[in-house]
Amino acid sequence: MELCLETGYTSLNHIGEELCGDHVESSVNGQYTTLVLADGLGSGVKASILSTLTSKILCTMVSNEIDINECVATIIKTLPVCKERGVAYSTFSVIHVNRQGHGYLFEFDNPEAIYYHHGKAMDFEREELDVCGNAVFKSELNLEDGDIVMVMSDGTVHAGIGMILNFGWPRQKIMEYLDHHLDDQMSARAAACVLASACNEIYEGQPSDDTTVAAVRIRQRLDVNVMVGPPVNKEQDQEHVERFLEGSGLKVVCGGTSSNIVARYLHKRLKPSLEYPDHAIPPIAYIDGIDLVTEGVITLRRLLELSDKYVSISDLTPKYYVKEDGASLLAEILFERSTHVHFFVGQNVNTAHTGLEIDTTMKLKLVERLAANLRLMGKEVTLLYD
């Protein structure tokens, strides 16, 4: 089974600041994924500049396999020195790992990374290195399917200081919290959001420090094929459906006409549900052999709204979906479960929809914007038009 890496993070800004003093940078280079979380000294613009520089430099250098000594030396020489404090300083955590789960983690002055393995939060074995006079900790990574590596800025362990928790939120307590609130099925994005949201609660919505949680997760590849709308020429219906059905992975059909075409092709009955888990979203339907059947453009519009929230790094709503309407079910499959998404888009104009807020141009735009958001989530997306 092919494994894939996914990354995600959530940031809370120091109260009153427009910029976050923490910065996360990630890149994919062949088999390797590199993620850097840096926390700049202070808060606001200065901190933001320090952490942005640090994370960009580290991410570029590490992803190109340059030795950590050289990377750190470069940062020390590059960072601007703060006039007030006379130092140039930004902490960092670097994860560099390939699709087989092998790689390493380097940490400098951030809270220790947490290893979520087999449903339990634990420590990494760390080795102390002296890099240009700084104590940098190195851990070997040998990740297995479902494992998550979580790195964070110190806003997490400082949560609640002087407010509801006298001494902040100790790492041990954070790990206990994760034991109870994460599960094996959660995406990296969802897991990071769980911890950041908890910190925000402890800060009572007013963080006194920039707080960022980033996660890298290794998981199995899952392809999802989505058919949206019938082809322009009716004669292409069969070919279009055949191509949609031949790929591996989950099959999703969006749209009334499309579902009728697929049901006819499969010689199965199309059974629409009468249940409205959400009044604004038309009911889903069932076809034997198809994993999810929904209405088209109204459902997609809601899905796009959900995707906008999902990709926002400051949005704290949970990143998993328990509602049973078509849009939420689609969101769970596409945002949380998929790694590769293939859209089969038919551009036929539904004359009944012309002039309504649901016409074909609208639908094509929705699919494009949705594809862009899915790419931001790290999914590989293909679009095939008929």
Partner 1 sequence: MIIKVCVGSSCHLKGSYDVVETFKSLLKKYNVEDKIELQASFCLGNCLQGVSVAVEDFGDAQVQESEQVKRTDQGLLLSYMNGQNTEKVFVDTILPLLK
Interface with partner 1 (CB under 8 A): 255-257, 259-260, 270, 272-274, 276, 279, 282-283, 285, 295-298, 350, 352-353, 356-358
Q: How far apart are CA 190 and CA 378, in angstroms?
A: 13
Least spacing, CB of residue 351 vs partner 1, in Å: 8
Residue nearer to partner 1 on the CB measure, 296 or 346: 296
Give which of 235, 232, 226 is closest to 259, Cα–Cα. 226
Give which of 115, 133, 111, 117 is closest to 39, Cα–Cα. 111
Least spacing, CB of residue 324 vs partner 1, in Å: 15
Residue 242 burial (10 A CB sphere; 0-12, 13-18, 19+):
exposed
Q: How far apart are CA 24 and CA 312, in angstroms?
A: 13
**Residues whose CB falls within 8 Å of the CB of residue 182, separated by 6 or more in sequence, listed in order:** 116, 119, 121, 148, 191, 194
Residue nearer to partner 1 on the CB measure, 1 or 274: 274
Least spacing, CB of residue 283 vs partner 1, in Å: 5
SS3 track for 208-268: CCCEEEEEEEEEECCEEEEEECCCCCHHHHHHHHHHHHHCCCEEEEECHHHHHHHHHHHCC
Least spacing, CB of residue 264 vs partner 1, in Å: 12
Q: How far apart are CA 212 and CA 157, in angstroms?
A: 11
**Residues whose CB falls within 8 Å of the CB of residue 121, separated by 6 or more in sequence, listed in order:** 114, 115, 174, 175, 176, 178, 179, 182
Q: How far apart are CA 364 and CA 349, in angstroms?
A: 11
Least spacing, CB of residue 289 vs partner 1, in Å: 17
DSSP string, 77-118: HHSPPPTTT----EEEEEEEEETTSEEEEEEESSPPPEEEET
Residue nearer to partner 1 on the CB measure, 66 or 356: 356
Residue nearer to partner 1 on the CB measure, 202 or 253: 253
Residue nearer to partner 1 on the CB measure, 90 or 350: 350
Residue nearer to partner 1 on the CB measure, 173 or 264: 264
Residue nearer to partner 1 on the CB measure, 249 or 277: 277
Least spacing, CB of residue 235 vs partner 1, in Å: 19
Question: Strands 250-254, 292-294: parallel, antiparallel or unpaired by DSSP?
Answer: parallel
Residue nearer to partner 1 on the CB measure, 198 or 290: 290
**Quick one: tokens of 217?**
């997760």
Residue nearer to partner 1 on the CB measure, 285 or 292: 285
Least spacing, CB of residue 360 vs partner 1, in Å: 11
Q: For residue 106, list its beta bridge partners.
A: 94, 138
Number of neighbours of residue 322 by Cβ within 10 angstroms: 7
Least spacing, CB of residue 252 vs partner 1, in Å: 15
Least spacing, CB of residue 107 vs partner 1, in Å: 52
Residue nearer to partner 1 on the CB measure, 238 or 354: 354
Residue type, 369: R
**Inter-residue contact 108 to 134 (CB < 8 Å):** yes
Least spacing, CB of residue 299 vs partner 1, in Å: 9
